Amino acid sequence: MPRLRTPLGWAADRWTLSPRVLRWATTFALVTGVLIVLGGGIVRVTGSGLGCPTWPECQPGSLTATPELGIHGVIEFGNRMITGLLEVAVACVIIAARLQKPRVRSITRLAWSQFWLVVANAVVGGVSVLAKLNPYVVALHYIMAMALLTAIALTWHRVHERPDRPREVRPAARALSWLTAAVTLVLILAGTLATGSGPHSGQAPDGSPVARMAFDWLAVTWVHGLLAAATLALGILLLLILRAPGERVARERAWFFVGAVVVQGVIGVVQAVAGLPDALVILHVVGAALVWVGAVRVVLDVQPGLFPSVHVGPSSEVTASSAQARAAVR
């Protein structure tokens, strides 16, 4: 009995895409993943979360925004269109990964994980509209976006980083990288509580407020600030530890992470002093995404054996690079 072929399997038997196409596709997905966070921030600060009052339609009988929905409908529908662009980007990654010769199954699986996370996040976004911007559902929507960015960053790392670069990182740095990532995650979770409790937790298009989280906004904000300080301190400590020649790659990633945390902290302080201007709130939301991507990349490069990169290319190069990666891990 002949084996059933999927459309992608049929295409892979006939065509091959170059490793460069796969690298460009993963970069496209990473940029679009950050862009969807930007779109969500614009929706929030403009009070456009219910600009499209229903889901999956924008309004009953129409998938698109209509003139009577006004600017809020345009903004919310535009954000939904960015989700469509993200779906295209992830589809490009899936196709490019499947049409590699030889095929690297782990990269294909990562690409498909992005697809399912996009679908899940779209559903959560729809539920947040149907729930009239319930702050906990909205927070989950943002956390799901961070999960998607994690999968995209993992895929990007696997196809861009050279596995033959020397990476000999000491156990202390490895443990510290995990601690840094864990505190960063708690920092982001605290940020969703601060947003859900504060003045930018959303509003209806008519200007009426939506439900807030039942937390003291000032107290949550102080906790958020202390966690940010702890995250920065851990990042600096990691830089001080990563001094050996074999830790150069990890040190480069740590520098990016520390820089992102510093910029994010400055934005956070300025927005608090200036009374939460919309533009700075949006930048702070996007900055959180970049900080998280930076934390993920620190873990990947400080722990080279955890999720080793793969050289995508001819079979001989894959074999040689894989052997070098295994040797580096040992």
- Examine the fold and report which residue of 111, 129, 160 is the final residue of a domain before the chain moves on: 160
Residues 122 and 182 in one domain: no
- pLDDT digits over 224-252, tens only? 999 999 999 999 999 998 887 777 888 88
The answer to whether residue 239 is domain-embedded is yes
| Segment 124-148 mean pLDDT | 93
Residues 183 and 293 in one domain: yes
Same domain assignment for residues 9 and 138: yes
- Helix, strand, coil % (nearest 5) of the chain? 70, 0, 25
pLDDT reported for residue 245: 75
Handedness of CA 156, 159, 162, 163 (dihedral sign): positive
pTM here is 0.85
Tell me if 206 is assigned to some domain: yes
* Structural domain harbouring 14: 1-160
Asked if residue 15 and residue 83 are part of one domain, the reply reads: yes
Residue at 57 is within a domain: yes
Where b means 16+ CB within 10 Å and e means fewer, 97-126 reads: bbbbeeebeebbebbbbbbebbeebbebbb
129 and 276 both lie in a single domain: no
**Average pLDDT for 143-152:** 95
Domain count across the chain: 2
Whether residue 190 sits in one domain with residue 100? no
Do 114 and 190 sit in the same domain of this protein? no
In a domain, 317, yes or no: no
Mean pLDDT of 27-32: 95
Last residue of a domain, one of 160, 182, 203: 160
Same domain, 31 and 112: yes
C-alpha 253: how far from its chain's center? 16
Indicate if 6 and 98 belong to the same structural domain: yes
Is the domain of 7 the same as that of 147? yes
Each residue of 35-76: pLDDT tens digit?
Answer: 999 999 999 888 888 889 899 999 888 999 989 889 989 999
